[in-house]
Amino acid sequence: MFSTCNLGVFDLILESGDLLTSAIIADLLGTKACVALKSLRMKKKDNEGKHVRGKKQHGLPIEEICCVGSQHGFTKNKSCQTNLISFFDRVTSWVDTGNAYASEGTPPFFICKYQIFTEERLQRFSSAMGDAWSLHGQELLSAFDLSCFQVVCDVGGGNGALAKEYISLYPKATVTIFDLPKVVEGAKKKSVSSEECRISFHGGDFFKDPFPEADLYILARTLHDWDDDTCEQLLTKIYKACKPGGGVMVLETVINEDRTGPLVGHIRSIMMMLLCDGKERTQSEFNALLNAAGFKEIQSKKRNNYGAIWGRK
């Protein structure tokens, strides 16, 4: 909202005296990104002077954006609140230039996070990311019958929370977690359960180093960190590593095709844009990425909080 004010969006709407599309606003203000974001819907008065919702358009109503903090608990933690405020300060830069870091050239969050995080902060971050899979992992992994895939690689698997759900669901399987060495070292220290002998760790950079051999590669909340070109590069590398008949499973928030929701998906998309120049995607966007990498027989199933997208070589 502050960024919208700073950019003069509301002044422009007031002066126009009419509803304006995001494309017209972008053209008049010389901005690049608000066309893609499409995050505001107008409200107008009917003939009786009552405020009613305007014609259905892409994005979120302004009042829903305003209550994001209270709905998602961001205000409960002062440290989290401070960090989020510092990132949301970059909205104006992003809308104006298409780059949240244009003014000072600060590297995106995901590039430097493992360099600047202390071991304690890194463990907390990995634990927070893993919490989602303790809640939703089995629901997503059971969306398709994966029992034929006994050797699995969880790319960017963090602390192994999703791997634990996989071996619980498919007891004959083994899972290799492929993540940065610093992440892997921290995860090993926390890996003490007897069942986790079926979980192994492989340190490396998945853009630079070879992938461990596997029948199935999983990308869970990984693609949303990156732009389309980088995602295609990563998926193409996975496709080349796949054996014939092997596949990839992508677990991500899926935005509605008409971009009217879900609300949490748009919130996460804004967060990814600010933190790491990434975004959440629609099903057709995921299909295009997997097709470009070479995968076929693409299927998807949407669950409560995330979607499961599956492609085969």
Annotated active-site residue in 72, 136, 202, 224: 224
d(CA 43, CA 141): 41
Beta-sheet strand order (sheet of 199-203): 199-203, 174-179, 151-155, 216-220, 247-252, 307-312, 296-302
Q: Which two tokens stand for residue 232?
A: 């295609």
Dist CA 27 CA 124 (whole Å)? 43
Is the backbone peptide bond immediately before 210 cis, with ω within 30 degrees of 0? no
Extended strands (E) in 146-275: 151-155, 174-179, 199-203, 216-220, 247-252, 254-255
Place of tokens 């619980």: 168
> Which SS3 state, helix, strand or coil, does residue 201 take?
strand
Residues near 217 by Cβ (< 8 Å), separated by ≥ 6? Answer: 152, 153, 155, 211, 238, 241, 242, 246, 247, 248, 249
Q: Is 266 an annotated catalytic residue?
A: no
The three-class DSSP label of residue 56 is coil
Cite the active site residues: 224
